Structure 1
Amino acid sequence: MNSNEHTTLLQGSNQRKKSHPSLPQVLNTNKKKIVTMTCFIVILIMTFFIQMSDGSPFFHHNNTLHSNRKRNVIFFVTDGMGPASLSLTRSFRQFTEGLPINDTLNLDKHLIGNSRTRSSDSLVTDSAAGATAFSCALKTYNSAIGVNPYKQPCGTILEAAKLDGYLTGLVVTTRITDATPAAFSAHTDFRVQEDLIALHQIGEYPLGPVIDLMIGGGRTHFYPRSDSKHVYGTHGTRQDGRNLIDEVKSNGWQYVGNRDEFDQLKMGQNVSLPLLALMADFDIPFEIDRNSSIYPSLEEQTVTALNALNEASKDCDQGFFLMVEGSRIDHAGHQNDPAAQVREVLAFDRAFKAAMDFADNTDVETILISTSDHETGGLTVARQVTKEYPEYIWLPQVLANSSHSGEYTKNKIIEFSRNLKDDDVEDNIKEIIKFIKKEILERDLGILDYSQEDVEFLARAKTADVIQDKINDMISFRAQIGWTTHGHSAVDVNIYAYTNKKNTWYDILDHLQGNHENIEIGQYMSNYLNLDLGKVTAMINETKHSPELSVKDLEKGLIYDDYHHKLINNN
């Protein structure tokens, strides 16, 4: 301390001595301080209870570990949707509906971070490993369903929630036995073991039934193969001869297999749990192709599930866990079909909004978390279509002109060709060319500037995949939309969230805002519901999970899945 600082301090001390107050002044001042402090404490206490009563945080605490309030978790998976999918769909919607540039999707308003997606054996994950990261909160190998890298079953959040008193549900637009729903409800070494996955889903494993509600496609894995038409359809694939639909019905399940029966559920107000609703033999058609008189939308499925689970849990101490998957965003990416892609994302966005509305109208603390297992297709919202420097443009009108997917129009061409009676190949080609021009390109796809070479190529294509790829490329090229792969990519995917309680919102941000590994999302949901995944893992270690059939025999059941059947050969 220098001399000036020392002098200043001494002067301050002397000054305080000279101005020392009298005793009455001290008492009066202290009285004012006491009153002020008392008022402050009262206000503090009142503020605390007011804030806590409406769900706002006064103290920033870890809500996931210190609350026993009744809770619901709605977990959304946008299979195959990357950030570019949102950009594509947002601009498409603005264009087709004449909206301003500041109009956004429902999801856009709730973006909080992004997720890294690698699996344990690859920088590029598949849906099985990606979904297992959410369900078991651990990394595993591509094609693994509810098992760790050593092919040992791992307890899932859905199983743990059921054992802890929560109701549980799965809603998808693909097969209910497909990778994402399977990863929450089954344990198999490979995703292609869908017959075994179906057994696990109806409760034929150590834990017994753990799913209260399933809505989706995939009827094929619930009834046996048959040469004649079966009451449930014509494409049963079960090789053990069992009819699981009849079995669950005899065990008290409510079964729904068509649109009329689904409508009788009255959006969840007329549901008897457990419910198995299988709306298609395979996948529910793309939204762009969906016949609403036959198939319910993802939004309708979601609302039905939410209402049913909410009604069934209203007098319970615990709420419910529901996983909803926008499944076929992934398929549109695999097929490089931008017209199908935007409709799938819009359909998912409507389902997400319906869940937000549900949360806003329930007194039960409810969180929504939405993310993707991975991105599919390497989508880019731009494409260089000339050798010259590229235009800075893409054309949503091309996607708007298209009223059907490449998958739908491919099948339409194949069916037309099969029905031709003429034995003369060239006469048949002429009929096919005429059909492709008028019915496919002009009517279904809105393409008028096709070349004769385009039409000839489609008419003479040797395989269904070649036809589909050509159709989707014709759309993508004209819209100037680019794709880098028919597989998955390693791009980070977005995380979205919503809740009806303010204190929970801060807790979600504490744990999921910013960039995270995908396993952190699974761990957060587990902590939020106070679940013990390790305890469940110990209970299921004897689960039958390894295949009894050869790889070749397993792949026979994948006649409808061209995207993932090769994964098993790498493990």
Structure 2
Amino acid sequence: MRSELRSLGKKKYRLILVYLIAGLLFVSIIVGSSTWYGQRAQAKRKRNVIFMVSDGFGPASETYARTYFQATQALEHPYGYQLPLDKLLVGSSRTQSSSSLVTDSAAGATAFSCALKSYNGAVGVDPDQKPCGTVLEAAKARGMNTGLVVTSRITHATPAAFSAHVTGRDSESRIAEQQMGEYALGRQVDLLFGGGKCFFLPNETNDGCRLDGRDLWSQYQEEGWATLDTREGFDTLEPTGASLPLMGLFALDHMSYELDRDPKEQPALHEMTHKALEILGAESRQEETGFFLLIEGSRIDMAAHDNDPAAHVHDIAEYQRTVEVVKAFVDSHPETVMISVSDHETGGLTLGMQPGKEYPEYIWYPEVIQRVQNSSWAVGQALSRVDGGVKAKRAALIHSLLPESLGISDATDEEIAFLVDPEQGDIDIEFYLGRMVSRRANVGWTTHGHTGVDVNLYAYGMEAEALRGNHDNTDLGIFVSRFLGLDLPSITDKLNQIILYGWSHG
């Protein structure tokens, strides 16, 4: 009996020992896994995403820009020449929205930011008009720094879709408030560079275009925002000493086309981008975190809406310069990925037209575009300021505006008649001026709106290979979320829970 008891005791001891060892192994696995996941999450938190949007820039526009520089600068750009983006091409992106084959910028940017389809005009909301968490907000929830750099109004559709939630893109007064932090999540954006100061100024002032009398500019200066609105202020801003949150708005409305931009008054897109990267990079190093930065070449699209080939190609060139700045940053920060994509194509651009039935020459005239000194929009504005009636406008067009600004010295009587009295037609004068240049250059356009074609997708840096091939635009938001380890559903849940308690998304 005693031997049996001793044997049983040994078995119990061995069993307890086995359970103890198993328990310790289980605990070590759990702790190790938690540490591994924590380290992995921390590693992703230290990554950077630079998301670039070339608004309205389709594949034909890339061909057009490359061909233009090859034709006008043959020594520097022979037939084998590649634009900066050409070297980064990885695939293409599908663009349609939930409501249309042809998307607008709001729905297109919401697909990027929320990784879901929505209707045209939707800014950070789903098809049921409920707010959806954006990659910028989710990055901020991870402790990352965030920024917006654009050449449009900062409250325009693309930057708004990453930083606000409204049911219609025209609610720019409300978008401005949300970008300052007046919504459910509080302030989410650390740095804003662009235009659109008028939506931060009260409507009773000459410069204000808000729907109310609020002075957001002064209010947020008092609440700790660093602000600047001049070229001098931009140039003297030291990246290492910059204070966040920071807002620099360099125009009341959109910033100027690159063709019209006065470098003494406004910084270029590549300059704003360079400074933003320096600031966010320095801040992220100090805080041992990463950043998310949206960059938009906004006015590529607006020039295409006017069928203005000169303004279009110069803003494309500026975007390409910006790509070089970003690529250099990625090269020195290997934990970074840059993505460049368009929300849609605008204008249906073609090189070469066949006006008649005879066999065409298949030729275009880049020298016509090379002579242009100002955008068709700037010429239209200048014409509207001419006093003295039809006679004075006719003289201004023939002797200065057309030859000096657009390089047109052969305007027809019909063209002049329309320009001095545009009310007789059903198109904008800027569009008509753009078409005047295009006809002489033999550049064709199918529309003054958007088209539904796939757009090129470019990527460079960490894990860029994952974007090869053809992707839906929502896939890009999914990629960013995975790359940074973001939790978009939790941000969406938080936004919609607060709505139940009375918060309105406008």
Q: TM-score range by the shorter chain?
A: 0.7 to 0.9
> Could you tell me which residue of structure 2 aligns to residue 293 of structure 1?
264
Q: Aligned ranges for residues 102-501 of structure 1 at < 5 Å?
A: 102-226=80-204, 230=205, 234-266=206-238, 268-362=239-333, 365-416=335-386, 419-420=387-388, 428-462=389-423, 465-499=427-461
- Which ranges of structure 2 fall in alignment gaps of 5 or more residues? 1-39
Change (3 A) 1:152 1:466: closer
Task: Work out the CA distance in 1 between the residues paired with 2:201 and 2:42.
Answer: 46
Change (3 A) 1:384 1:281: same
Secondary structure in 2 matching 1:475: helix
Match among 42, 56, 72 for residue 80 of structure 1 = 56
Change (3 A) 1:220 1:101: same
Give, in angstroms, the shift of residue 546 of structure 1. 4.9
Q: Percent identity?
A: 47
Alignment TM-score, normalising by the size of structure 1: 0.78
* Contact 1:65–1:528, Cα closer than 8 Å, also in 2: no
* Contact 2:45–2:290, Cα closer than 8 Å, also in 1: no
Give, in angstroms, the shift of residue 241 of structure 1. 1.3
Q: After superposition, what is the alpha-carbon deviation per residue over 1:77-128, rounded to whole angstroms, capped at 9, x for unaligned?
A: 0010000010111111122222201111100000000000010111111100
Give, in angstroms, the shift of residue 453 of structure 1. 2.8
Secondary structure in 2 matching 1:190: coil
> Could you tell me which residue of structure 2 aligns to residue 47 of structure 1?
none
Task: Work out the CA distance in 2 between the residues paired with 1:386 and 1:437.
Answer: 29
Q: CA RMSD in A?
A: 1.7
Secondary structure in 2 matching 1:391: coil
Bigger shift: 385-394 or 298-307?
Answer: 385-394
Give, in angstroms, the shift of residue 166 of structure 1. 0.5
Give, in angstroms, the shift of residue 341 of structure 1. 0.6
Task: Work out the CA distance in 1 between the residues paired with 2:78 and 2:261.
Answer: 28
Secondary structure in 1 matching 2:287: coil
- Which ranges of structure 1 fall in alignment gaps of 5 or more residues? 1-63, 421-427, 548-571
Q: Aligned residue pairs: how many? A: 460
* Contact 2:202–2:212, Cα closer than 8 Å, also in 1: yes
Secondary structure in 2 matching 1:182: helix
Task: Work out the CA distance in 2 between the residues paired with 1:123 and 1:271.
Answer: 43
Give, in angstroms, the shift of residue 380 of structure 1. 1.2
Task: Work out the CA distance in 1 between the residues paired with 2:243 and 2:265.
Answer: 22
Task: Work out the CA distance in 2 between the residues paired with 1:515 and 1:379.
Answer: 22
AA aligned opposite 2:488 = L
* Contact 1:153–1:545, Cα closer than 8 Å, also in 2: no
Give, in angstroms, the shift of residue 456 of structure 1. 2.5
Change (3 A) 1:386 1:441: farther
Q: After superposition, what is the alpha-carbon deviation per residue over 1:525-547, rounded to whole angstroms, capped at 9, x for unaligned?
A: 11000000001011111354554
Q: After superposition, what is the alpha-carbon deviation per residue over 1:177-228, rounded to whole angstroms, capped at 9, x for unaligned?
A: 00000000000000011111111100011111110000001111111112xx
Change (3 A) 1:322 1:249: same
Secondary structure in 2 matching 1:404: coil
Change (3 A) 1:545 1:337: farther
AA aligned opposite 1:392 = Y
AA aligned opposite 1:188 = V
Q: After superposition, what is the alpha-carbon deviation per residue over 1:436-475, rounded to whole angstroms, capped at 9, x for unaligned?
A: 0121111111112222332222122228954222211110
Secondary structure in 2 matching 1:324: strand
> Could you tell me which residue of structure 1 aligns to residue 4 of structure 2?
none
Task: Work out the CA distance in 2 between the residues paired with 1:73 and 1:491.
Answer: 26
Give, in angstroms, the shift of residue 383 of structure 1. 1.5
